[in-house]
């Protein structure tokens, strides 16, 4: 059987000087211009969509007429067109929850620059901790070497680097390498057992075998207190600032400190999710999870003027806790990791899993009291952890496979392309 190409991303932190940061910031802000031009040209051109050829010509004309657009490399400008059309394809694809592409504002847009051609990177390993990469119009830059890249190290994974994307977050600039490796197709399914997983807040992941996967708070007590003080300071300064005026330097620095703390919490959460899902995907052949509508679960309880909601503050706190656990990202990681190991992920209906006794099937709302489950059926009377009971119900339920190998998986619909010109 022929090998299969596997595409993955590897993120590494860049070590940049002040001048290099300024150059990348300028390139990223310049990259917003072709995006906004494309959006205007694509959606408002005489009431019909523009063709790919017309969009490409519009970008070339803009680079000729606007001098400062020259600071953005030509290949990065062309990559904006590809990214823009992919955004439309994701929006029109029913398997994605992507929003409709819109104009990019200076303050609310994440800064990013594409390096679509791998030959421009010239990646080399400097020592055990650092590597070096060429960035167009920036120069030679060091990056943290935390994982062997395919095709670059002796004895490392076979494959190649197909490109990269530079992204800026609260901690600075990072590079996302696009890697491609060849893997042999699996001839057999995963040899492990089936497990049901209940996602929660008190217990992050409860398994049907009675074990649990828990984590410490994403921020320490001191970090939480620091974040609380910063949020109070930002609210006070925002209230004191006259309306329709720009934030002062102090206020912006406070926002930057808040963003760094929140980014630190997210980094820790993603790291825990990656390590945990890798362990689960390697242990179990079939992983069953609830088919939750998380977007509906975290909606506000404010209601309307005619019908105001109740317990709004408590619901807001619950929404923050659910969002902090990132249940959807956990399932997404499990899907591709299980599929790569010959396993599968199955989504089952969520109704009644936490109120039904797995032993006798008696369903009653009073069966559950917090984390304790006590069956009210006098002929049963099973008592145990509520999340474990829900996980067993999830394991025993019949659902729909969403990822896997061969006949075990569900073939997702092909991505639809943006509408063509009339």
Q: What is the domain class of 194-219+258-404 according to CATH?
A: alpha beta
Q: Quickly tell me which residue has 């807040």 as its tokens.
A: 201
Q: Quickly tell me which residue has 């019908």 as its tokens.
A: 307
Q: Which residues contact 111 (CB under 8 A, 6 or more apart)?
A: 24, 25, 28, 29, 167, 168
Provide the strand spans (E) within 136-271: 139-144, 159-169, 172-183, 194-199, 205-207, 212-213
Distance, CA of 223 to CA of 229 (rounded, Å): 10
Residue closest to 403 by CA, chosen among 331, 353, 322, 352: 331
- DSSP reduced 3-state for 269: helix
Domain spans of the chain, in order of start = 4-183, 194-219+258-404
Q: How would you write the pLDDT of the chain (422 residues) with one tens digit per residue?
A: 566 778 888 999 999 999 999 999 999 999 998 888 888 877 776 555 667 777 778 788 888 888 888 888 888 888 888 888 888 888 888 877 788 889 998 888 889 999 998 888 999 999 989 999 999 999 999 999 988 888 887 767 778 899 999 999 999 999 999 998 877 666 567 788 999 999 999 999 999 999 999 999 999 999 999 999 999 999 999 999 998 898 999 999 999 999 999 999 999 999 999 999 999 999 999 999 999 888 888 888 887 777 788 888 888 888 888 998 999 999 999 998 998 888 999 999 988 899 999 999 999 888 998 889 999 898 898 999 999 999 999 999 988 888 765 433 333 333 334 444 43
What is the secondary structure of 67-129 as a DSSP string?
Answer: GGGGGS-HHHHHHHHHHHHHHHHHHH-TT--PPPP-PPPTTTSPPEEEE--GGGT--EE-SSS
């Amino acid at each position: 059987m022929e090998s299969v190409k596997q595409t993955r991303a590897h993120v590494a932190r860049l070590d940049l000087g002040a001048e290099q940061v300024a150059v990348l910031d300028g390139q990223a802000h310049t990259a917003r211009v072709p995006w906004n031009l494309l959006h205007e040209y694509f959606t408002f051109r005489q009431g019909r969509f523009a063709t790919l050829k017309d969009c490409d010509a519009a970008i070339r004309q803009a680079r000729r007429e606007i001098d400062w657009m020259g600071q953005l490399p030509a290949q990065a400008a062309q990559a904006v067109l590809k990214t823009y059309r992919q955004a439309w394809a994701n929006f029109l694809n029913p398997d994605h929850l992507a929003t409709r592409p819109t104009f990019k504002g200076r303050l609310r847009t994440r800064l990013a620059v594409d390096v679509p051609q791998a030959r421009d990177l010239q990646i080399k390993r400097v020592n055990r901790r650092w590597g070096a990469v060429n960035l167009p119009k920036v120069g030679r830059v060091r990056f943290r070497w935390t994982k062997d890249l395919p095709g670059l190290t002796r004895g490392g994974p076979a494959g190649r680097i197909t490109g990269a994307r530079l992204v800026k977050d609260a901690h600075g600039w990072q590079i996302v390498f696009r890697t491609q490796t060849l893997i042999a197709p699996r001839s057999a399914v995963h040899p492990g057992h089936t497990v049901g997983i209940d996602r929660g807040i008190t217990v992050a992941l409860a398994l049907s075998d009675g074990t649990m996967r828990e984590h410490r708070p994403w921020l320490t007590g001191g970090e939480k207190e620091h974040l609380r003080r910063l949020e109070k300071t930002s609210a006070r300064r925002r209230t004191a600032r006259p309306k329709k005026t720009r934030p002062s330097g102090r206020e912006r620095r406070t926002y930057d400190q808040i963003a760094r703390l929140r980014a630190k919490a997210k980094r820790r959460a993603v790291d825990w999710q990656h390590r945990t899902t890798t362990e689960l995907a390697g242990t179990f052949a079939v992983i069953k999870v609830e088919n939750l509508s998380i977007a509906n679960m975290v909606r506000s309880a404010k209601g309307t003027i005619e019908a105001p909601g109740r317990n709004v503050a408590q619901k807001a706190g619950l929404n923050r806790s659910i969002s902090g656990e990132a249940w959807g990202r956990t399932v997404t990681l499990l899907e591709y990791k299980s599929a790569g190991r010959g396993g599968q992920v199955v989504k089952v209906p969520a109704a009644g899993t936490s109120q039904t006794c797995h032993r006798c099937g008696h369903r009653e709302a009073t069966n559950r009291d917090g984390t304790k489950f006590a069956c009210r059926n006098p002929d049963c009377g099973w008592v145990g952890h509520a999340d474990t009971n829900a996980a067993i119900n999830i394991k025993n339920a019949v659902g729909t496979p969403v990822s896997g190998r061969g006949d075990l998986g569900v073939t997702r619909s092909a991505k639809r392309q943006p509408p063509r010109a009339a």
